[in-house]
């Protein structure tokens, strides 16, 4: 069906646009966005943070019963209220997700997902938490090289991510193959 390819591509493009536009609707957070307004980059990233929790298995005992799973933001918070909105109402394995803002990596105790802002110092010190059961996420370039686990990238104007599987293993985290499938790149070696 080679001759129909242009139409198909156009169709897909429209579909993608629609999908992106509709994303906030999943969570019924229409009030946060004006009508038909495309979600901002960090709104998308906030939603992804919440979604990552669904594909990660923490080591036994790292998540206690009925306690919420804290999603921490270290450094300068690029999300604003978008993160709280994204986490609100989300439950993973019965656990609610809560946002926590921390100043430095010293305060990561209890965090299970850690967004590291694009701060060179912070990025360089990620190695300090590499053995903790914390899923580390950042949109800083070369985050993975620094021992980070998930790095947001922009591809074709869309928010995608890369995964460092070795780092996750080092931390004792088990990342679902489902998540690996939608990642743009998966690094299996350190």
Partner 1 sequence: MKGGIVGGRRSFRRKLVAISMLASAGGLVVASLAFIRSELGTYRMNMVRSLSIQAQIVATNSVSALLFADTEAARNTLSALSSAPNVTFAGIYTATGEPFASYAPTGEGEALPLPQPGPRKAERWQFTSSDMWLERQIVSQGKPIGFVYLRSNLLEIQRSLERYTRNVAIVILISLLVVFLLSAFFQRALTRPLLDLARTALTVSREKRFSVRVPPVKSSDEVGVLVNTFNDMLAQIQQHEEERQKFVALVEQTDDFIGMIGLDLQMIYMNGAGRRMIGLEAAGSPHIHINDFFPEKWATKLRDEILPAIMRREGNWVGEAQIRHMTRKPPVTVSMNVFGVNHPDSGELMSFAAVIRDISERRSLEEQLRQSQKLESIGQLAGGVAHDFNNLLVIISGYSAMLLDELRPDDRMRDRLEEIARAGDRAAALTRQLLVFSRRGQVEQKNIALNEVVKNLQKMLRRLIGEDIEMVISLGESAGVLRADPGQMEQIIINLAVNARDAMPHGGKLLIETGRLVADEEFARSHLSVSPGSYVVLSVADTGCGMSEEVKSRIFEPFFTTKGEGKGTGLGLSTVYGIVKRSGGSIWVYSEPGQGSTFKVLFPAMEGVSPDTASSTASGELVGTETILVAEDEDAVRQYVGELLMRRGFKVLKAANGRDALAIARAYPGRIDLLLTDAVMPHLSGLALAEQFAKLNAGVPVLFMSGYSDRQLQPTGLESSLIQKPFTPIALITAVRGLLDRKARVAS
Residues forming the site for partner 1 (CB under 8 A): 1, 4-5, 7-8, 11-12, 15-16, 18-23, 25-26, 44, 48, 51, 54-55, 90-93, 158, 160-161, 176, 178-179, 181-182
Q: How far is the CB of 50 from partner 1 (least distance, A)?
A: 9
Q: How far is the CB of 91 from partner 1 (least distance, A)?
A: 6
Q: How far apart are CA 157 and CA 17, in angstroms?
A: 11
Q: How far apart are CA 160 and CA 148, in angstroms?
A: 16
* Cβ proximity to partner 1, 15 vs 154, nearer residue: 15
Where residue 10 falls (left for φ over 0; alpha for ψ -120 to 50; beta otherwise) is: alpha
* Cβ proximity to partner 1, 10 vs 106, nearer residue: 10
Q: How far is the CB of 108 from partner 1 (least distance, A)?
A: 25
Tokens of 127: 């190695």
* Cβ proximity to partner 1, 4 vs 189, nearer residue: 4
In 29-77, where do the E strands start and end?
A: 56-57, 69-74
* Cβ proximity to partner 1, 56 vs 123, nearer residue: 56
Q: How far apart are CA 109 and CA 125, in angstroms?
A: 15
Q: How far is the CB of 97 from partner 1 (least distance, A)?
A: 10
Helix and strand totals (H; E) in the chain: 6, 10
Consecutive H or E run containing 24 = none
* Cβ proximity to partner 1, 76 vs 184, nearer residue: 184
Q: How far is the CB of 123 from partner 1 (least distance, A)?
A: 23
């Amino acid at each position: 069906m080679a001759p129909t390819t242009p139409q198909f591509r156009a169709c897909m493009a429209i579909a993608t646009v629609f999908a992106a536009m509709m994303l906030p609707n999943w969570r019924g957070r229409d009030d946060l966005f004006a009508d038909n307004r495309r979600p901002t980059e960090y709104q998308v990233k906030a939603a992804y943070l919440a979604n990552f929790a669904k594909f990660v298995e923490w080591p036994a005992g790292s998540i206690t019963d009925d306690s919420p799973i804290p999603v921490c933001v270290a450094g300068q918070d690029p999300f604003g209220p978008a993160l709280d909105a994204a986490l609100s109402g989300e439950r993973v394995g019965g656990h609610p997700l809560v946002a926590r803002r921390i100043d430095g990596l010293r305060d990561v105790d209890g965090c299970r997902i850690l967004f590291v802002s694009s701060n060179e110092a912070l990025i360089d010190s990620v190695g300090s938490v590499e053995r903790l059961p914390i899923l580390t996420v950042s949109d800083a370039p070369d985050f993975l090289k620094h021992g980070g686990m998930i790095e947001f990238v922009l591809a074709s104007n869309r928010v995608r991510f890369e995964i460092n599987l070795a780092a996750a293993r080092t931390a004792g985290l088990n990342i679902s193959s489902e998540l690996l499938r939608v990642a743009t790149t998966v690094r299996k070696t350190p």
